[in-house]
Structure 1
Amino acid sequence: MVWEKWAMRGVCGVLAAAGFVCAAPQTGNAEPSIPPAVRDLQRVITPDLPATYGADTAVVILGYGLTPEGTLRTELVRRLRAGLVQAMFAPWSPVIVTGGNPRAGLSEADAMADWLVSAGLDPARILREPHAESTVANARNTAVLMAEHELADAVLVTSSDHIDRARAAFLDAGVTIAGELTPDRTPWPALPLRIDQFGPGLPPA
């Protein structure tokens, strides 16, 4: 489409000003090669925004193993950033962090909750499930927690190579899935992000 060609030219112009070079179109029927930097910039400029949900929908962020020192691995930070973006677009939704497997006395859920609070999320929105040691346990324990808080459904947040297994486990546990989000589909994946700098606020008490 014409607008796509002009959009690509605009993206390439920005990159050229920054010292990057766009690949030249290929001859024949082959698609032009798009450098990763261009794809990342396109995602920042025209992201797929997460959906909005109400107070009876939980944003469920699945854990990922901590380091032996109890710190967050890069992939877990990516999941948390995706979950934080979803929380911004669903300001009434509670956020469930699920994961046990403690390291240095800290569970995945507790480490995840600490990260979210440091990023500006209200601690009152966070529900912790710190016992699960597998995806199946994530789902079963979260289902119990959701029932206790009378939550109707969930948005699953995990890695793209884990979402199919997570979806199956949560469906088997009886959880209704309202949506899914993975880090590769999240807007602004590498920009500084705090919920008190961007996104809607919490409802009045």
Structure 2
Amino acid sequence: MVRWTWSKRVVCAAIAVTGLACVPVPAGADLATPPGLDFARVLGTPTLPGIYGPDTAVVVLGYGLTPEGTMREELVRRLRAGLAQAVFAPWSPIIVTGGNPRAGLSEADAMAGWLVAAGIDESRILRESEADSTVGNARNTAAMLADRGLRSVVLVTSEDHIARARGAFADAGVLVVGDLTPDRTQWDSVPLHIGRFGPTPAVG
């Protein structure tokens, strides 16, 4: 006979959000490989945004704008992931980083505008609009963190960029406590998809 306590129900509800199954294990069953539970997925890269406090910033890395100054689809995808993280950590400031202006608009300015249109309070957004590379993003962000007494960051960028970004931020002396990419925020088992976050701007 299997008994379900409320604590087990809560844990299983959390696991279900990740798309995993949570099933009861009969008394005396072999617990080496619990049925329906893939430990590789549980212990590997998280698929959900994390909850952080006000001393941890959400850093969304930029991506080149079109010559007309509009955002490319990949940058919008990063912003949607960043917005999801910002919702989970409402006390965290958000740093948008990227220079390379096009048509008089930097990546950071375009990103900040998108976040404000998505409902984020503008006072929560910090703009790093000078850097023209990932290394520059990291160095400038490190200075902003020090000025404001912030201790750590969650990086948000593309899957094929996250390793390089983490390296650059580590080299700049920034403590990276988490990361999130658009490719890790597709939750097919629940009605929560990163593509539904925020406004839908014209993209290049």
Using the alignment, how far apart are the partners of 1:145 and 1:60 within structure 2? 11
Query: TM-score scaled to structure 2, two decimals?
Result: 0.71
The residue that corresponds to 1:101 in the other structure is: 100
One-letter identity of the residue aligned with 2:63: Y
CA offset at residue 194 of structure 1?
4.2
Give the secondary structure class of the aligned counterpart of 1:156: strand
The residue that corresponds to 1:117 in the other structure is: 116
Which 4+ stretches in 1 moved above 6 angstroms?
none
The residue that corresponds to 1:189 in the other structure is: 194
Using the alignment, how far apart are the partners of 1:186 and 1:120 within structure 2? 20
Using the alignment, how far apart are the partners of 2:63 and 2:84 within structure 1? 18
Give the secondary structure class of the aligned counterpart of 1:167: helix
Using the alignment, how far apart are the partners of 1:68 and 1:83 within structure 2? 24
The residue that corresponds to 1:63 in the other structure is: 62
The yes-or-no answer on 1:50 pairing with 2:49 is yes
Give the secondary structure class of the aligned counterpart of 2:176: strand
One-letter identity of the residue aligned with 1:175: V
Using the alignment, how far apart are the partners of 2:50 and 2:144 within structure 1? 23
Q: Mind listing any 5+ residue stretches in structure 1 that lack a counterpart? A: 9-46, 196-205
Asked if 1 retains the 8 angstrom alpha-carbon contact of 2:77 and 2:195, the reply is no
Query: TM-score scaled to structure 1, two decimals?
Result: 0.71
The residue that corresponds to 1:130 in the other structure is: 129
Using the alignment, how far apart are the partners of 1:83 and 1:122 within structure 2? 14
Asked if 1 retains the 8 angstrom alpha-carbon contact of 2:84 and 2:194, the reply is no
The residue that corresponds to 1:37 in the other structure is: none
Over the residues paired in the alignment, what is the CA RMSD in angstroms? 1.9
Give the secondary structure class of the aligned counterpart of 1:190: helix
Q: Deviations over 1:85-108 (max 9, x none)?
A: 000000000000000000000000
The residue that corresponds to 2:24 in the other structure is: none
Give the secondary structure class of the aligned counterpart of 2:153: strand
Count of residues paired in the alignment: 151
The residue that corresponds to 2:77 in the other structure is: 78
Give the secondary structure class of the aligned counterpart of 2:119: coil
The residue that corresponds to 2:23 in the other structure is: none
Q: Mind listing any 5+ residue stretches in structure 2 that lack a counterpart? A: 1-15, 21-45, 187-192, 200-204
